[in-house]
């Protein structure tokens, strides 16, 4: 059974810092891995999807890397802004039925 761990659970940083959010998973037989953002009381917004054959994916200030063999993914946020404050979730996809397994997330607060 896939298990996903995200470290740190919470993070508070001043504006402008570059950030690293970590995700580890136990079963490396995955098709892809998605990073999501969740604002309080809201649904999930898909940020990046990395295919199992890819090493990284970039969108604006976000860069996600994937090391499938070691069961790790990292989300880099460059030049953080207060608007980046949210919970970030990673979810590898594997097994039958296109099933995502979610971590418990990293709660990020970027302060002015």
Partner 1 sequence: DGGITQSPKYLFRKEGQNVTLSCEQNLNHDAMYWYRQDPGQGLRLIYYSQIVNDFQKGDIAEGYSVSREKKESFPLTVTSAQKNPTAFYLCASSIGGVSNQPQHFGDGTRLSIL
The reply on whether position 7 binds partner 1 by CB under 8 A is no
Q: Report the residue from 60, 69, 83, 97 that binds partner 1 according to the rule CB under 8 A.
A: 97
Question: What CA–CA distance (Å, rounded) separates 65 from 57?
Answer: 7
What are the C-alpha distances in Å from 88 to residues 33, 83, 98?
13, 13, 21
What CA–CA distance (Å, rounded) separates 107 from 7? 10
**4 touching partner 1, by CB under 8 A:** yes
| 66 lies in the site for partner 1, by CB under 8 A | no
Residue 41 C-alpha from the chain's centroid: 19
Q: Which of residues 27-56 bind partner 1 (CB under 8 A)?
A: 31-32, 34, 36, 41-46, 49, 51
- The alpha-helical segments, DSSP class H, found in 1-112 are none
Size of interface with partner 1, in residues (CB under 8 A) = 25
Residues that bind partner 1 (CB under 8 A): 4, 31-32, 34, 36, 41-46, 49, 51, 89, 91, 93, 97-105
């Amino acid at each position: 059974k896939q298990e996903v761990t995200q470290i740190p659970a919470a993070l508070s940083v001043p504006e402008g810092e570059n950030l690293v959010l970590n995700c580890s998973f136990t079963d490396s037989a995955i098709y892809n891995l998605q990073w999501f953002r969740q604002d309080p009381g809201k649904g999930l917004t898909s940020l990046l999807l990395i295919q199992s054959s890819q090493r990284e994916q970039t969108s604006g200030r976000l860069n996600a890397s994937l090391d499938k063999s070691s069961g790790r993914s990292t989300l880099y946020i460059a030049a953080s802004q207060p608007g980046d404050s949210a919970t970030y979730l990673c979810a590898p996809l594997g097994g039958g039925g296109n099933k995502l397994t979610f971590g418990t997330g990293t709660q990020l607060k970027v302060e002015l």
